[in-house]
Amino acid sequence: MAVLYDRLHHAHPGAPIVYLSTGAWNVAPTLTRFLGRNLYPAGPLLLTDWGPTHDRWFRNGAQHKHDSLARLAQEFPGIRWLLIGDDGQADERLYGEFAAAHPDSVRAVAIRRLTAGEAVLAGGRSSGAAVDAHVPWISAPDGAGLDDRLEELGILDNDPA
C-alpha cells in the first residue's frame, strides 16, 4: 500500500493525503512512526478521541469517519477525493454513502480486501454492499491490484517513471 500511496502522491503533486482512521489519538505517535518507516507520504491524521461520551462507553468509529468525511467535503469543496479503505468494519458503506451524497467530490473509491487474518483483527468484514453512487468503485487484495485498477481509470499513469 505504501508504494500505491507514493505513486498517487507523485502522480498528483500538491494533492492532500489525509489519513482517516477510527484509531484513537493516543496511537498517533506510533501510527506516525509506522507511516514514516514504511515510506508512506506525509499527511495529517484524522483520529478519534478515546473513551466514553455522554451516552456511550466507547466512541463510535463509523460516526467519526462519517463526520470527518462531511467536514472534508465542506472545508475543501473543490477537491475530488480518492477514498481508499478496506472491507473491514464500515468503509464500504461509509464511502458509498459519502459518494452518493457528494458525487462531485469523489473521483473514485478503492477498497482493499483484507486477508482472513486481517479481517479477524479488524473485527470482521463488512457486508460488501456499496451504495450505488455513480462513481468508479474498485477493489483488490493489495496495493498492487488497486494500482492496476487505478491505471485503468486513468488516475495513475502506467509509466511510473
Give the pLDDT of residue 90.
83
Domain span at residue 88 reads: 2-152
DSSP 90: T
In a domain, 145, yes or no: yes
Closest by CA to 135, choosing from 104, 91, 112, is 104
Q: How many domains does the chain have?
A: 1
Give the pLDDT of residue 133.
62
Give the pLDDT of residue 146.
97
Query: What are the C-alpha distances in Å from 46 to residues 27, 43, 72, 122?
Result: 12, 10, 10, 18
Give the pLDDT of residue 32.
96
Q: Which residue has the cell 467519526?
A: 64
Find the DSSP H helices in the chain: 2-11, 28-37, 61-75, 91-101, 116-121, 143-152
Provide CB contacts within 8 A for 110, sequence distance 6+: 82, 83, 84, 85, 138, 139, 140, 146, 149, 150
Query: What are the C-alpha distances in Å from 65 to residues 19, 59, 83, 85, 161?
Result: 11, 11, 12, 11, 34
The rounded radius of gyration (Å) of the Cα atoms in the chain is 16
In a domain, 161, yes or no: no
In a domain, 88, yes or no: yes
Give the pLDDT of residue 67.
92
In a domain, 157, yes or no: no
Tens of pLDDT along the chain (161 residues)?
999 999 999 999 999 999 998 888 889 999 999 999 999 999 999 998 766 666 655 566 788 899 999 999 999 999 999 999 988 878 898 999 999 999 999 999 999 988 767 655 656 556 655 556 689 999 999 999 999 999 999 999 866 55
Give the pLDDT of residue 87.
86
Give the pLDDT of residue 79.
93
List, in sequence order, every residue forming a beta bridge with 140; answer none if it has no partner. Answer: 112
Give the pLDDT of residue 117.
73
Closest by CA to 21, choosing from 53, 55, 58, 69, is 69
